[in-house]
Amino acid sequence: MPTINHSQDAQDRYFMMLAIEQAKLGLYTTRPNPVVGCVIVQTEEVVGQGFHPKAGEPHAEVFALKEAGDRAVGATAYVTLEPCSHTGRTPPCALALIKANVKRVVIAGLDPNPQVAGRGVKLLKQAGIEVTVGILTEQAEALNRGFLKAMRTQMPYVRLKIATSLDGRTAMASGESKWITSNAAREDVQKIRARSGAIITGSETVIADDPQLNVRSNQLGVLPEKIPSPQIVVLDRRQRLEHSAQSDYQLCRRTDTIYWRTDDLTDLLATLVRDHQCYDVLVEAGAGVAGSFLSQQLVDELIVYQAPCLLGDQARPMVNFNPISLAQQLRFDIYNYEKLGSDLKLTLLPL
């Protein structure tokens, strides 16, 4: 590690950035646990790093402390989430840091899990450890949107993904839609699926496209079989996928598919958190379902892959939604935009 002579704040940001890079290594495998990274620094040198790989396995701090060994004494630990104070599947990380005799702990953000929620910081301070909270908080929180929202509100973080043409069309009138967007955009969808605890689709999409909605990419840095399969939910209020029809469709042949047969999407989302620990939810469906989620204000993030092509006004629109006046329009903030292959990816946050 090169020596750095910046102010303490700049140093804290630098090492927290390294801890965030560690956390990202668990991005596709920790569900329902959050991703967490930890870096141990002794006189400006990284002596240990680690990340939480999977629920049930040790937390980030444990791996980092193990690597640091005796060099953790008097060191500073950088952690992307408040060290836990509870005995869950593993013992409390706050105690592990105390036992290792670190001098200071720098934390990106507090853990809203009611079992932790500030108690980790309290334990550290009681042991005489200097604690700094709030370094690169936004960057660290961006990795755990679902976990954080679910812990705070008991509702999941909902991403709605739509692939469209330049004129906002998703398929020809016949339903033909393979493929409007490029391979790069479809590969990006694999990343979002791999981070999602549940994928919601509609019976209409199942009947029209018979999608698999699985994670099959070999470009995620993790073997697809190591990624927990997202829970599949099919919205089927008209009961079009009765038992007899189910063997016709790939998703329906899965034994764990949930068929949601009411109109109450809020109840569905609350159920996914409460009963299935699904904190990041991806909606991949047609214009009707997209319209329902958007008009009921259940979308946290709209992701649009826009291909630079025109499909004409007979082609299918992206959202079924009929505001009567301009005052009823739905507006978004552009959180991010990037070129993916030949397409544009827009990440939009509802205003």
Q: Does 111 bind ligand AOF (CB under 6 A)?
A: yes
**Preceding omega of 179 cis (within 30 degrees of 0):** yes
Query: Nearer to Zn ion by C-beta: 44 or 67?
Result: 67
Residue 50 binding result from Zn ion, ligand AOF, none, given CB thresholds of 5 to 8 Å by partner type: none
CB contact set of 55 (below 8 Å; sequence gap of 6+): 30, 31, 32, 33, 89
Let me know: does 305 contact 169? Beta carbons within 8 Å.
no
Give the x-and-dash track for 125-164 against Zn ion (CB under 5 A).
----------------------------------------
Give the x-and-dash track for 43-82 against Zn ion (CB under 5 A).
----------------x-----------------------
Q: Does 97 bind ligand AOF (CB under 6 A)?
A: no
Query: Nearer to Zn ion by C-beta: 84 or 232?
Result: 84
- 172 half-sphere exposure, CB direction, 13 A CA radius: 6
CB contact set of 95 (below 8 Å; sequence gap of 6+): 123
> Where does this chain touch ligand AOF (CB under 6 A) — which range of 33-41, 126-134, 160-168, 299-307?
33-41
Determine which residue in the list 89, 99, 261, 274 makes contact with ligand AOF, applying CB under 6 A: 89
Which two three-digit tokens encode residue 211?
């999608």
Report the residue closest to ligand AOF, judged by CB.
88
Strand ranges inside 85-128, DSSP E? 104-107
Which two three-digit tokens encode residue 346?
């827009």
Determine which residue in the list 72, 116, 268, 319 makes contact with ligand AOF, applying CB under 6 A: 116
Can you tell me whether residue 257 is helix, strand or coil?
A: coil
Dihedral over alpha carbons 189, 190, 196, 201 (to 10 degrees): 60
Cβ atoms < 10 Å from Cβ of 324: 6
Q: Does 84 bind Zn ion (CB under 5 A)?
A: yes
Q: Does 93 bind Zn ion (CB under 5 A)?
A: yes
Phi-psi label, residue 61: left if phi above 0, alpha if psi -120 to 50, beta otherwise: alpha
61 counts as catalytic: yes
Is 128 annotated to bind a ligand? Reply is no
**Contact residues: ligand AOF, CB under 6 A:** 33-34, 36, 52, 55, 59-61, 81, 83-84, 88-90, 93, 111, 113, 116
Catalytic residues: 61
